[in-house]
Amino acid sequence: MSEYINEIEKLIHLLTYLPGVGPKNAERIAFFLANTSKDFKEDFISTLSSLSKNVRKCEICHNFSNDKICKLCSSTERDNSILCVVEKPQDLLAVEKSGAFRGRYYVLHKLLSPVDNILPDDIDVNGLINAIKRFGVKEVILALKSSVEGEATSILLFETLKSLKVKITKLATGLPKGGELEFVDEKTIYEAILGRKNFEN
């Protein structure tokens, strides 16, 4: 027999799926939510419901959007000649905040990782190719973290894209080894983009 009532037990279980939330933190959050005001709970539930109904992936770059085509992809003020490939939407935001990049984006949402059963066929390379052709891209920046997974994914993309005759570059050194782009300061990202170099397999 559980020591918790059903609703709290289920909430704790669901919270453990969140990144960085272990059983103890899940328990702490669950009891906070149970003990907070009715208005907060209703607002929290309403926001999650809206997220589920109204947030989707952009059909071009796969960034999160309220529409089929996100604001970045529909903008006429972006540089069509250059496209930055990132792992996740948080990385896209980090690059945007740096102010060093005004081109197009493509979000992978995952990196190669056989341990996690993420194989080459799970990476949407075709979507990336379509975006490159749609905008007439001349240069692709591989802005993936310098981990085993990031390097393996970069090599996969390089081998696939080189037949398109586009310039393929990667961020300059200076980023922490294996570090998440979303946690890197804006100045470092700015310098890494401006100092980017040709990708060599």
pLDDT 10s digits, 46-96: 999 999 999 999 999 999 999 999 999 999 999 999 999 999 999 999 999
Would you list the domain boundaries of the chain? 6-54, 76-198
Q: Is 140 helix (H, G, I), strand (E, B) or coil?
A: strand
List Cβ neighbours of 83 (8 Å cut-off, separation of 6 or more): 103, 104, 105, 106, 131, 132, 135, 137, 139, 140, 141
* Homologous superfamily of the 6-54 domain (CATH): RecR Domain 1 (1.10.8.420)
Q: Is the pLDDT score of 201 beyond 70? A: no
pLDDT reported for residue 13: 94
Q: What is the pTM of this model?
A: 0.83
Q: Which fold has domain 76-198?
A: Dna Topoisomerase Vi A Subunit; Chain: A, domain 2 (3.40.1360)
